[in-house]
């Protein structure tokens, strides 16, 4: 991987992190519940998009830039785990368990849906390889 690709991954990773903080913050202002809905939404969007580009069979460069770069900065496993731990610490064990189980199952589901859509788009040549 050349210097230009590294720079692209780094720049898009930073952009993904800014997008995560922005979306999570907006959802936190709108949703005042105890569950960490913002991080859940971020991770579901990221799972869907990564499934989409993987199912589409995009080029290695595109997967590096979008998947590793942008989505690597956008999605967050560690925040999801810490948020779940905070629910436990707040004696909200049921909510913590639901947060863990629902995020895993929903993440698998949306990634699978994204993958299927990506594969369908590729098989129907609706999105050219150069577009992704």
Task: Encode the chain (132 residues) as per-residue pLDDT tens digits.
Answer: 899 999 999 999 999 999 999 999 999 999 988 889 999 999 999 999 999 999 998 889 999 999 999 999 999 999 999 999 999 999 999 999 999 999 999 999 999 999 999 999 999 876 655 455
pTM of the model: 0.89
What confidence score (pLDDT) does residue 125 get?
A: 78
| CB neighbour class for 77 (10 Å; exposed up to 12, middle 13-18, buried from 19) | exposed
Structure tokens at 13: 């990773």
């Amino acid at each position: 991987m050349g210097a230009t690709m590294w720079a692209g991954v780094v720049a898009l990773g930073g952009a993904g992190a800014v997008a995560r903080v922005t979306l999570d913050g907006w959802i936190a202002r709108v949703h005042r519940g105890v569950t960490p809905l913002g991080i859940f939404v971020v991770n579901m969007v990221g799972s869907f998009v990564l499934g989409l580009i993987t199912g589409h069979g995009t080029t290695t460069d595109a997967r590096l830039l979008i998947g590793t770069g942008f989505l690597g900065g956008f999605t967050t496993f560690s925040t999801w785990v810490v948020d779940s731990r905070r629910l436990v610490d707040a004696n909200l064990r049921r909510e913590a368990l639901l947060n863990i189980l629902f995020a895993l199952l929903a993440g698998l589901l949306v990634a699978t849906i994204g993958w299927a859509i990506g594969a369908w788009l590729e098989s129907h040549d609706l999105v050219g390889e150069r577009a992704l």
